[in-house]
Structure 1
Amino acid sequence: MRDFASRIAAVSACGFGLSKAATSIGYLSAMGSVTRNVGFVTELWFMLASEAVSLVLAIVVASLAARGHLRPRSIPQWQALLVFFAGFLLSASGVLAPVPEPYSAALLGCIYGVASFLFCITWMEEFAYQDPSDSHKSMVAGLCIQTVLVVVVSMLPGLALTFVAMASAFISVLCHFDIVMRKTGVLGESAHGELSSACEVFEPVTARAFVAKFGTAFACLFVLVGVVGILHTSVLGSSFEHIVGGVSMWIPLAFATAVTAVAGLAALRLPDPTSVYKAVLPVMLALLTLLPFVGDYLGSLAGGAMIACYDVCGMLFLFFIVDAAHGHRQQSYLLSSVYMGGSNGFLALGLGIGLLVNYLSGDYDISLMTLLAFVAMYPLGIAFVMVMRRSMQGVRPAADGSNLGGQAQAQCLAQDANPSSNGALGRHEQAHEDGSRGDEGAVDTASDSLDAAASIPEERSEVFPVEPDWEAALHSFAEHYGLTKRETEICSYLVRGRSAKRIAEELFISENTVWTHTKNVYAKTKVSGKDDLMNLFEDEAFGR
């Protein structure tokens, strides 16, 4: 079955890389309608229309995915191909020649927005169901293919560019179709595992839980995208246009691909993207600070560095989406939609602010570089503060199974140190059984006391000289009482004193769903509340 996985990885790399190349070519050429771009700005009406359509599609798909109405792999990729072909054919055929330029550009932008959105979410969904090590290698190889093709196309005439873009999109769809056929036609162990995983039904997600889990990572990316948009449109038509206009787009793309390749292959699971922002945001802040003083000397170097920072973060975020889908068992459709919608929305916002900066600079005789630095540095500074706050506070892993045994020991010590904890937990559960939600604050306080006990010095650990095998104990406990997979997961949090609110945030589900599974666990184990469940688990799992 390893050969099967290797073939899937190779085909995925080819298809993903060609789809990225096709959409990059389509964007930089405005679906073949322009031959010159300023940085990544081609035709403003094209860009604004594509971003608006992507934002609308993202809202629709994210809403459906969050409510559990989208089945995994339910969106086909051939629709993206048809739309993509239609855009290039309309541009090349001259059908839009009589149409005023803003309207024709907006129409092509709408077509591009649909195609690029569908290509992105379908490939992210495919990688979400592959082994992380295989998906990372495939994505790195695909990004390298994209870079090579973009470099080659930059030296080709317009007609050849159209052919390469359409051929790349067509082969990408063939690769995607080949993967689907292989997984549905091969009755091997690996294929069967993939299919059963893909048929998993994901539970609804609350906006609050999503923001708590991924808010900082997404917000910093969106700020970065917006600032790059401000940089591009603010210098259009000015003496500083060379800052982005003098940048050959393949250079920052190649640099970003190299950085991403190193990061993608260095770890099977990439760190939270906020770790990358801690390096990228100071660089951009420094460049923006220098622009008013040495903007003429920095020139395209500053623009190229900022575009490269943007490319690095955008590429690494794709890895983050795949890893988040693995680690949190969340549909990649939701994560990809938020990524596409937020990026395009903030890029449009940045482009609009940049045009305003350009206008104010010309009409009120304000230094463009000073005004640009002033407008762009504030959001970047806020984003950097958010990143550092998160870094200082630390991020609690969603699944901390490796520390569960130690926490179970600490729980007993915490109960000795704080006898009122069990009473608070019991009162909360009893209040819920009576129809009330109880005092969540009391439960969280008790839970926090258990976490604090984990830091008790080692000399007290002789109370339990042998650390129990938590995972085996939990598995045995679940088998004994006939708990389902999700009930077992909920149970693992309950026996550590977690509240429904906290479980919902960590598992990315609603509190009502948590209470439903909690009641099932209580019924199957014949206990009346969390305190009884904790005692039962300790007695049966660890023989105490």
Structure 2
Amino acid sequence: MATAATAPEDKRSMRMIWKTLRLRHLGLAFFWACSMLTFRSTFLLCDALGTPENETLVIVVSFAANAATLFAISSIIEGDPKRYEKMPAWVFAAFIIVGIVLLNVSGRLDVHLTMPTLIAGSVVTGVGYGYFWGSWAQVYGQMHPSRTSFYIPAVFLLTTTIFLLASFADEQLGIPILALMVPLPLIALACLARSRKEVTLAAPKHDKSPVYLAAMSSLWSLILAGLILSCLFGFVWEMTVFSVGSVNAAHQMPLFLNFIVAITLTALALLGRKRIDISMAYRIIVPVIVAAFVVMPFFWEGNSVLLNAVVSACFGAFDVILWYMVVATAYDFSASGFIIGGLVRALSIISRLLGIGIGYIVMMIPDRPPLVIVGISLGAVYLLGMLFLLYRRRQTRTLAKDAEGTAFEHMQKQAGSYSDRAIGTEQGSASAQAPGTESTESETNSPESVYELIAEDYGLTRREAEVLPYLAKGRSAKVIAGALYVSESTIRTHTRRILEKTALHSKQDLIDLIERYG
């Protein structure tokens, strides 16, 4: 009966999330599609400049400027968040527009101005894209993860849709690419401005540097996976571009496959009764990439585009999960999404640049010996294997702690019930003796203020603080999971961490603590 009652509740929760969705919440997709059109196609460069070397140069320079911008603004926010709030977003949207115009006209200028214009366009687009990546992480980091677990996959789906439509309009209908790209950062800017107004009441705590260290530490395995996968993606991308001689040819199949992945992820988020499970990244994506690199030496020369499509699709799915986990962590720790998202994104970009550099060096080797490809494949398989082992080891430790906490909870259950009755009797006597005192106390300390005080005093994350009211009422993990739209194991983990931070041993001890605060 409990299971049957939970399903409609979960469906109602998803319908509520669907009803709260507005176009402004998907504004990230418009600038993301603009960046993909800039980096993954030869649309902007004229035929004379559309060489693998120039295309690689645009990506490397723009990515470097992107990472530098994320690091710089993150440092500004950590020192003085008001300086970031005063930054005019429209300036960075203008940077993107100016940058894509410079890239588009660079091949039509005097030969001496071609390369400086190409580099200048790459730099200013990178600065604009860096700001928007961090700013959208800031916005999503202040939304409840039950919403972003659907918003992020939907953003990826809209991004791939815009890219494919823009490609079709340019190639088949002859619409100038600038006419298609210039509105995208402007739409993203308008959506960003409206979304910021919506989440201003949940301002993050910028003044506690240890919060960011704790938040980043909670993501360490995910960040490590992102670094490895990003490097491998950059490596395969670069080798594929040089193999086929064009960015467009290298990405036609991957983009369609990414579109299918986006539909799948959005459907899972929409139809699933729980939020996206990060273990999916390790259980499905990593093994597929391992298999791709195992067979790479045998079919690279004739099927490089197919390998790039598989790696690109896996990395796209992982990127969505990574982005969701980053903004969910920012929400959990009440931290700046720009700092957490900016640092993770910048590290991923640096790793991808490293992979691109390795791929470029390998492709420059004349008559590349087969041992080079074999060695790189073995290295990739080894790294991914070590990553999977680290993940399994961490999962085993987590499950052991959860099992220990569950066993302890069962041991305390009977004693807790006796304590409940005893406390209830004591409170009834106190009420009978001094009814006026209880009334004054409840007026002075509301339940909400009590939970806020406990969260502040013991350094609870925002998600842990959300669990407190349910624990105070003696709700089970299953009931709390249904109410907060997460899994039961997540609730047990939050409960265990609350007990660790408060140095308590049972839920009853926690209830006693809450009553003392009241």
TM-score by length of 1: 0.67
Q: Which of 160, 183, 189 is the matching residue for 1:147?
A: 160
Q: Which of 355, 369, 376 is the matching residue for 1:372?
A: 376
> 1:252-291 counterparts in 2 under 5 A?
252-266=257-271, 270-271=275-276, 273-291=278-296
Q: Confirm or deny that 1:462 pairs with 2:462.
A: no
- Please give the secondary structure, in 1, of the residue aligned with 2:232: helix
**Deviation, structure 1 residue 64:** 3.5
**Deviation, structure 1 residue 334:** 1.1
Q: Confirm or deny that 1:115 pairs with 2:128.
A: yes
- Please give the secondary structure, in 1, of the residue aligned with 2:253: coil
Q: For the residues of structure 2 that align with 1:462 and 1:319, how far apart are their CA atoms?
A: 40
**106-115 or 215-224: bigger deviation:** 106-115
**Deviation, structure 1 residue 226:** 0.4
**Deviation, structure 1 residue 251:** 0.9
Change (3 A) 1:311 1:282: same
Superposed CA deviations along residues 456-476 of structure 1, whole A, max 9, x for unmatched, are 48467433335759xx99x98
Q: For the residues of structure 2 that align with 1:478 and 1:213, how far apart are their CA atoms?
A: 37
In the other structure, the counterpart of 1:82 is 94
- Please give the secondary structure, in 2, of the residue aligned with 1:129: coil
Q: For the residues of structure 2 that align with 1:493 and 1:321, how far apart are their CA atoms?
A: 20
Q: Confirm or deny that 1:129 pairs with 2:95.
A: no
Question: Does the CA contact (< 8 Å) of 1:253 and 1:311 recur in 2?
Answer: yes
**Deviation, structure 1 residue 383:** 2.3
Q: For the residues of structure 2 that align with 1:537 and 1:140, how far apart are their CA atoms?
A: 38
In the other structure, the counterpart of 2:498 is none
Change (3 A) 1:236 1:50: same
In the other structure, the counterpart of 1:340 is 345
Change (3 A) 1:327 1:463: same
Superposed CA deviations along residues 101-147 of structure 1, whole A, max 9, x for unmatched, are 55443322212211211222222222333344444444444333222
In the other structure, the counterpart of 2:454 is 488
**139-148 or 42-51: bigger deviation:** 139-148
**Deviation, structure 1 residue 253:** 2.2
The amino acid across from 1:385 in the alignment is L
Question: Does the CA contact (< 8 Å) of 1:270 and 1:320 recur in 2?
Answer: no
Q: Confirm or deny that 1:53 pairs with 2:19.
A: no
**Deviation, structure 1 residue 367:** 4.1
Q: Where does structure 2 lack aligned partners over 5 or more consecutive residues?
A: 1-15, 428-440, 461-500
Question: Does the CA contact (< 8 Å) of 1:280 and 1:309 recur in 2?
Answer: yes
> 1:499-514 counterparts in 2 under 5 A?
none
Superposed CA deviations along residues 24-67 of structure 1, whole A, max 9, x for unmatched, are 21222468125699999971111111121122122223333445
Superposed CA deviations along residues 254-285 of structure 1, whole A, max 9, x for unmatched, are 02212321343355874563541331111111
Question: Does the CA contact (< 8 Å) of 1:278 and 1:388 recur in 2?
Answer: no
> 1:243-254 counterparts in 2 under 5 A?
245=250, 247-254=252-259
The amino acid across from 1:292 in the alignment is P
CA RMSD of superposed structures (Å)? 4.6
Q: Confirm or deny that 1:323 pairs with 2:328.
A: yes
Change (3 A) 1:39 1:341: farther
Question: Does the CA contact (< 8 Å) of 1:55 and 1:344 recur in 2?
Answer: yes
Q: Confirm or deny that 1:167 pairs with 2:183.
A: yes
Q: For the residues of structure 2 that align with 1:536 and 1:393, how far apart are their CA atoms?
A: 24
The amino acid across from 1:462 in the alignment is Q
Change (3 A) 1:367 1:106: farther
**Deviation, structure 1 residue 356:** 2.6
In the other structure, the counterpart of 2:192 is 176
Question: Does the CA contact (< 8 Å) of 2:30 and 2:185 recur in 1?
Answer: yes
Question: Does the CA contact (< 8 Å) of 2:74 and 2:339 recur in 1?
Answer: yes
**301-310 or 157-166: bigger deviation:** 157-166
TM-score by length of 2: 0.70
- Please give the secondary structure, in 1, of the residue aligned with 2:176: helix
Change (3 A) 1:164 1:291: same
Change (3 A) 1:344 1:202: same
Give the helix-richer structure, 1 or 2: 2
The amino acid across from 1:105 in the alignment is L
The number of equivalent residue pairs is 440
In the other structure, the counterpart of 2:497 is none
**Deviation, structure 1 residue 530:** 10
Q: For the residues of structure 2 that align with 1:171 and 1:396, how far apart are their CA atoms?
A: 48
Superposed CA deviations along residues 424-472 of structure 1, whole A, max 9, x for unmatched, are xxxxxxxxxxxxxxxxxxxxxxxxxxx9576248467433335759xx9
The amino acid across from 1:354 in the alignment is G
Q: For the residues of structure 2 that align with 1:379 and 1:130, how far apart are their CA atoms?
A: 34
Question: Does the CA contact (< 8 Å) of 1:19 and 1:119 recur in 2?
Answer: yes
Q: For the residues of structure 2 that align with 1:312 and 1:492, how far apart are their CA atoms?
A: 36
Question: Does the CA contact (< 8 Å) of 1:71 and 1:199 recur in 2?
Answer: no
Question: Does the CA contact (< 8 Å) of 1:73 and 1:126 recur in 2?
Answer: no
Q: For the residues of structure 2 that align with 1:269 and 1:286, how far apart are their CA atoms?
A: 29
Q: Confirm or deny that 1:388 pairs with 2:403.
A: no
Q: Where does structure 1 lack aligned partners over 5 or more consecutive residues?
A: 184-190, 398-402, 404-450, 495-517, 522-528
Q: For the residues of structure 1 that align with 2:514 and 2:328, how far apart are their CA atoms?
A: 35
Q: Which of 7, 13, 30 is the matching residue for 1:18?
A: 30
Question: Does the CA contact (< 8 Å) of 2:24 and 2:194 recur in 1?
Answer: no
Change (3 A) 1:278 1:76: farther
Superposed CA deviations along residues 492-529 of structure 1, whole A, max 9, x for unmatched, are 579xxxxxxxxxxxxxxxxxxxxxxx9xx9xxxxxxx9
Change (3 A) 1:24 1:234: closer
How many percent identity over aligned positions? 14
Q: Confirm or deny that 1:292 pairs with 2:297.
A: yes
Q: For the residues of structure 1 that align with 2:53 and 2:313, how far apart are their CA atoms?
A: 15
